[in-house]
Amino acid sequence: MKYAAVLGYGTVGSGVVEVIETNAELIAKNTGDEVKVKYIVDIRDFSADPHADLFVKDFAVVEADPEVNVVVETIGGLRPAYDFTKRALLAGKSVVTSNKELVATHGAELLKIARERGVNYFFEASVGGGIPIIRPMCQCLAANRIDEVFGILNGTTNYILNRMIEDGLTFEAALSEAQEKGYAERNPAADVEGYDACRKICILSALAFGRHVYPESVETDGITKITLEDVAYAESGDMVIKLLGRAKRADDGKIFAFVGPHLVPKAELIANVNGVFNSVMVRGNAVGDTMFYGRGAGKLPTASAVVADVIDACQHTDKTKYFGWEDSDASVVEDSKKFVSAYYLRVSGESVSSAVTEAFGEVKFLSREGAKANEAAFITGTMSGYKLEEKLAVLSKSCTVSAPMKVLALD
Ligand code: HSE
């Protein structure tokens, strides 16, 4: 028998208990041993829950119990998740988590402790919800030098953008729906401002390039400034707006890493990833391009990935599997203004078309029904962020300019 303790009985934690119970027989077969939840740690009152007898309020009970093999951390946030994870690893227990904030912030340190203690720290559910992406990157693609990884990494924002694009819903109405369906973070700013996608691209970057990428070093922009006008302009250019997290090996060995809304040509596979679905593209020097797709949020999809980690941890109680990267600092991240891209801009002002041409030269103008006479939207040629700033300085003398969005172009 293998014993697990679940920390935090929210959407994901309760999903984990449900999957372990519902698929008990199958999980026992795949693990080679029965897996049981011995404790659920949560300070809230669950006396009416069918699992009431499993609840304890004090993590020390789990820490002190030598029978517990695996601790499942689904509390989220940094505190107390960081302390409990550290204590569990130091007590010789493997830890499995869906907590991307913790992995993105303290992953290098926690992985080091796990290695020193001969246990495992697994985090398959921290990126892409139910999509298998961490193990494919660490194991199946281990023969490759990975040069680029990017994707739709947040289900809530993809759901919101999709409802705006397909159904003309307002941002607020679409966000409420995503919250009702249990996709959104406790604080929706983490979704809509791009912080959640930022944490996930940090984890993917660390796996791809072997060095910790800290969230503070990653330029991050969310979807709150996107309007239905932008959606219509993108449509006229056969493009959709998607929030992408991107990381790419730079020529000098550093890493470009950033998060922001992009215009994506409809011909790209990733343009057709809709609703709560996420997708991650990984480019290896031997395999070429690979794409992973699935539900990026939600109770059972996320629990699916967490419980797979529980099974792996139970199968490797005597061995640390290599899942990891070295620690680093902000200098590992390349100045994102050096990244070369085409940009989408929406502007308004007097003689707007000639002002745009004067600043940017030849551009591709977009159109929308009901556009005002003094308004224009266009796609620039490719240029660095520094060049863009120079040109915007000229244009903004006579026009009001929206926040630029990159246009995705794959080589
Ligand atoms: N709020 C996150 C999302 C949950 O919408 O993708 C999964 O990390």
Q: Which of 154, 161, 204 to mutate to test the pocket of ligand 1 (most atoms within 8 A of CB)?
A: 154
> Which of 143, 162, 142, 165 lies closest to 154 in space, CA to CA?
162
Q: How many separate domains does the chain show?
A: 3
Q: Is residue 333 part of a domain?
A: no
Cα-to-centroid distance, 99 and ligand 1 (Å) = 10
pLDDT of 170 > 90? The answer is no
Q: How far is the CA of 18 from the centre of ligand 1 (A)?
A: 20
Q: Which two tokens stand for residue 67?
A: 């029978």
Find the domain containing 277 and state its range: 134-295
Residues 198, 68: one domain?
no
CA-158 nearest atom, ligand 1: 5
pLDDT band at 310 (very low <50, low <70, confident <90, very high): very high
* Span 169-186, average pLDDT: 89
Q: How far apart are CA 166 and CA 201, in angstroms?
A: 27
Ligand 1 center–CA 292 separation, angstroms: 16
Return d(Cα 348, Cα 47) in angstroms, integer: 59
Residue with tokens 């979807």: 223
Distance from residue 253's CA to the centre of ligand 1 (Å): 30
Nearest CA to 282 out of 156, 384, 131 is that of 131
The closest-lying atom of ligand 1 relative to the alpha carbon of residue 200 is 8
Q: How far from the centroid of its chain's Cα atoms is residue 408's Cα?
A: 18
At position 107, the amino acid (one-letter code) is G
Q: State in Å: Cα 162 to ligand 1 middle.
A: 15
Question: Which atom of ligand 1 is nearest the CA belonging to 296?
Answer: 6
Residues 147 and 291 in one domain: yes
190 and 254 co-located in one domain: yes
From 176, 181, 191, 274, give the residue whose CB has the most ligand 1 atoms within 8 Å, as the site to mutate.
191
Number of helices and strands in the chain (H, E): 14, 18
Q: Which residues are known catalytic residues? A: 200
Q: For residues 80 and 120, state if they share a domain.
A: yes
204-238 pLDDT, tens per residue? 999 999 999 999 999 999 999 999 999 999 999 99
Q: What is the 3-state secondary structure (H, E, C) of 127-154?
A: CCCCCCCHHHHHHHCCCCCEEEEEEECC
The span from the CA of 357 to the CA of 352, in Å, is 9
Are residues 303 and 289 part of one domain? no
The pLDDT of residue 323 is above 90: no
Within this chain, do residues 176 and 274 fall inside the same structural domain, yes or no? Answer: yes
Looking at residue 389, what is its pLDDT? 98
Alpha carbon distance 406, 395 (integer Å): 18
3-class state of residue 366 by DSSP: strand
Q: Which atom of ligand 1 is nearest to the CA of 100?
A: 8
Output the residue whose Cα is nearest ligand 1's atom 8. 297
pLDDT at 411 over 80: no
Alpha carbon distance 354, 253 (integer Å):
41
Q: What span, in angstroms and rounded, lies between the C-alpha atoms of 82 and 99?
A: 10
Q: Using a 6 Å CB cutoff, which residues line ligand 1?
A: 129, 154-156, 183-185, 191, 196, 296-297
Q: Are residues 144 and 221 in the same domain?
A: yes
* Protein residue whose Cα sits closest to atom 4 of ligand 1: 297
* 122 bridge partner residues: 96
